[in-house]
Amino acid sequence: MSKLKAVILAAGKGTRMKSDLPKVVHTVNGKPMVEYAIEAAKGANADEVCLVVGYKSEVVKACVTSKVTYAMQTEQLGTGHAVKCATKFIGSEGETLILFGDTPLITGATLSKLVEYHRQNENKVTVLSAIVANPAGYGRIIRNEAGEFKKSVEHKDASETELLSLEVNSGMYVFDSKELNEALNELKTNNSQGEYYLPDTLTIIKAKGLKADAYVLEDAMEMTGVNDQDQLKAVEKIVQERKRK
> Which residue numbers are catalytic?
16
Nearest to 182 by CA among 125, 140, 100: 125
Strand partners, 28: 31
Amino acid of residue 188 = K
Helix (H, G, I), strand (E, B) or coil at 165: coil
What sections of the chain are H helices per DSSP? 33-43, 57-63, 79-84, 87-90, 108-120, 177-184, 200-207, 229-244
Alpha-carbon gap, residue 97 to 57, rounded angstroms: 21
Put residue 73 in one of left, alpha, beta given phi > 0 → left and psi -120 to 50 → alpha.
beta
Alpha-carbon gap, residue 177 to 84, rounded angstroms: 12
What count of Cα atoms within 13 Å lies in the side-chain half-sphere of residue 92? Answer: 1
Kind and range of the H or E element at 107?
A: none
Q: What angle do CA 159, 162, 167 make, to 5 degrees?
A: 150
Strand partners, 167: 131
